[in-house]
Structure 1
Amino acid sequence: MNDQHNGGSLTKEQMEFYNREGYLLIDRLLTEEDMAPAKEAMNSKVSIIANDLLNAGLINDLLEDRPFQYRLAELFQDLTPDDFLKYGRGWRDRLPGYFHLMSNPKILDAVQSLIGSEIYANPVYNTRPKIPRVAAGAVPWHQDKSYWPDANSNPVITVWIPLVDANEENGCLHIKPRTHRKRLLEWHAEQYSGTGYTALREDQLGSTETVILPAAAGSAILFNDRCLHMSTLNQSDGVRWSVDLRYQPTDQDPMPNYGTGFLARSAVRPERVATLEDWLADREEHEAENRSVI
């Protein structure tokens, strides 16, 4: 690409679109090879869940030969939503595959175009296994910033990546463009799905037209943490696997109450960029064990 900014990968036109609309879709940013470590981490978790269900007498087949997109859905197809929610609406396991994904240069290059080279990977990252026809799979209209209302963390950039093709049938992302210019709206905890997602009322959504964003596996949707967005139920037979990662400038609130993030990139202090070993040990920076760290 040309017209690159801050050493990042986005074009001037892409940056202008993001700044104007509050989001940007980058088609097929990642390859299957790029996604493989994260998929391995997801498969490991699914195997743990399958063994748990088997030991509890809830299933009689681990379905080990089923494809990535279908195994988790089929494990729960005869069980209840409560059985699924026992494992959480999103996963934040500290597995190497997630660090490799969050540290992927293609993602960091895109983020660098928007916030510069001093990049902190926020501790709020999630794996989203949206299984078929479970109410918890539908995420209501909200702003990500509702989860950290007091943090001086603008801009926080969410990078949403589907690991399988996301479409209207399996519950792709919906966004209201230009709503990143809104203040943080008053929200409530929704009640119908058992998740307590932060949610907005219909009368708070305004007249901005909704953009539906189907995305091929490995694509990335970047958006501002004030941008209104949601996703619908999964009406397919497979799992809509996705991850939502978050990045911010290093001079912003690291949100330690959500866990430990890490220094993902730095031109000023490259020797302090966290390694996998640092991240697994809950260290924000390389060699941080030699310093006082909260």
Structure 2
Amino acid sequence: MVEKPGEGLTKEQVDFYQREGYLVLPSLLSAEELNPTKEAMNDKVSMIANELFKDGLIKDRLIDRPFERRLAELFKDLTEKDFLKYGVSWRDRHPGYFHLMSHPKILDVVESLIGGEIFSNPLYNTRPKIPKVAAGAVPWHQDKSYWPGAKSNPVITVWIPIVDANEINGCLHIKPKTHRKRLLEWHREQDTGAGYTALRENQLGNTPSVVLPVKAGSAIVFNDRCLHMSTPNHSEEVRWSVDLRYQPTDQDPMTDRGIGFLARSRKHTERVATLEDWLANRPEHLDESS
């Protein structure tokens, strides 16, 4: 049985995305719908707190501190090196992330752009941008620079803030209409300790950038060739976000980067991966009874 398509995007929204290379969807997900993702983040923060405590780097795990502040306060008196030990992005196999990546509202949006055969790319990220860490500032780049040899196009990024993202805590900046550019020659920056791929000033062109402050649960959708960046976090809280990636099922699954999964199929609904499949690193559901 083929699932009934959801609401997805309007024609005007699809036209805007095709023309500008990005689209903002305010309040796509409710606070309740974000809770499983926050649970995944909280579990990782608790693990980090336990390690820091065991190593004698902190005296208090700050268990009672609010979600928005706890990670920032754990590292308040530590060094950037202490933070970078855990990486600038996380890719844990936690049910809360599968819940988000397979959420019907997100898949409806993606289906409007690439059709109903949707593969969830293995390169999803949880990004905790904490104050006073240089790696929080991500330079101008194209996502495609992280998989330059992959034969995949289009790859669509769905960027979702778990807290409000603004100009103080480091929201996204995008250069519209740059999604039709080829992959530009990039380099590894040396300023943040994270080794981000980056573009030089003379590669950015004259296209004015657009600042995109958005509320928690909103989504910014953009093409993997669209130039974008984010600024440092000058607040006292963590700017939590996730970036998810999707592509048509007939494109390169990038197995050298990890195992993605079949998130939606209008042709083969029985093969869509379940949580159990994803946790077991299976890209599709196998019906053992057949």
Indicate the TM-score class for this superposition, using the shorter chain for normalisation.
over 0.9
Residue 203 of structure 2 corresponds to which residue in structure 1?
A: 204
Residue 40 of structure 1 corresponds to which residue in structure 2?
A: 39
Query: Displaced runs of 4+ in structure 1, greater than 3 A?
Result: none
C-alpha distance after superposition, 1:204-251 (max 9, x if no partner): 000000000001000000000000000010000000000000000000
C-alpha distance after superposition, 1:185-209 (max 9, x if no partner): 0000000111110000000000000
C-alpha distance after superposition, 1:107-145 (max 9, x if no partner): 000000000000000000000000002100000000000
> Secondary structure at 1:108's aligned position in 2?
helix
Cα separation, 2, equivalents of 1:159 and 1:190: 24
Q: Name stretches of at least 5 consecutive residues in structure 2 with no aligned partner.
A: none
Which AA in structure 2 matches 1:84?
F
Which AA in structure 1 matches 2:104?
P
> Secondary structure at 2:48's aligned position in 1?
helix
Distance verdict in 2 for CA 1:193–1:109, change over 3 Å? same
Asked if the contact 1:27–1:219 (Cα under 8 Å) also holds between the matched residues in 2, the reply is: yes
Which AA in structure 2 matches 1:212?
V
Cα separation, 2, equivalents of 1:75 and 1:37: 22
1:56-75 alignment, distance < 5 Å: 56-75=55-74
Which AA in structure 2 matches 1:120?
F
Residue 138 of structure 1 corresponds to which residue in structure 2?
A: 137
Deviation at 1:152, TM superposition (A): 1.5
1:109-124 alignment, distance < 5 Å: 109-124=108-123
Q: Name stretches of at least 5 consecutive residues in structure 1 with no aligned partner.
A: 1-5
Which AA in structure 2 matches 1:286?
H
> Secondary structure at 1:179's aligned position in 2?
coil
Which AA in structure 2 matches 1:131?
I
Residue 189 of structure 2 corresponds to which residue in structure 1?
A: 190
Cα separation, 2, equivalents of 1:289 and 1:251: 24
Residue 150 of structure 1 corresponds to which residue in structure 2?
A: 149
Cα separation, 1, equivalents of 2:80 and 2:167: 21
Residue 257 of structure 1 corresponds to which residue in structure 2?
A: 256
Deviation at 1:41, TM superposition (A): 0.4
> Secondary structure at 1:222's aligned position in 2?
strand
Question: Is 1:163–2:137 an aligned residue pair?
Answer: no
Residue 267 of structure 1 corresponds to which residue in structure 2?
A: 266
Which AA in structure 2 matches 1:199?
A
TM-score normalized with structure 2 length = 0.97
Residue 29 of structure 1 corresponds to which residue in structure 2?
A: 28
> Secondary structure at 1:33's aligned position in 2?
helix
Q: CA RMSD in A?
A: 1.3
Distance verdict in 2 for CA 1:261–1:225, change over 3 Å? same
Distance verdict in 2 for CA 1:263–1:113, change over 3 Å? same
Asked if the contact 1:176–1:208 (Cα under 8 Å) also holds between the matched residues in 2, the reply is: yes
Cα separation, 2, equivalents of 1:182 and 1:289: 45
> Secondary structure at 1:279's aligned position in 2?
helix
Cα separation, 2, equivalents of 1:8 and 1:257: 34
Asked if the contact 1:7–1:112 (Cα under 8 Å) also holds between the matched residues in 2, the reply is: no
C-alpha distance after superposition, 1:66-107 (max 9, x if no partner): 110000000000000000000001000001100000000000
Residue 283 of structure 2 corresponds to which residue in structure 1?
A: 284
C-alpha distance after superposition, 1:159-202 (max 9, x if no partner): 00000000000000000000001000000000011111000000
> Secondary structure at 1:136's aligned position in 2?
helix
Cα separation, 1, equivalents of 2:238 and 2:270: 39
Asked if the contact 1:41–1:96 (Cα under 8 Å) also holds between the matched residues in 2, the reply is: yes
- Count of residues in correspondence between the two structures: 286
Cα separation, 2, equivalents of 1:104 and 1:33: 13
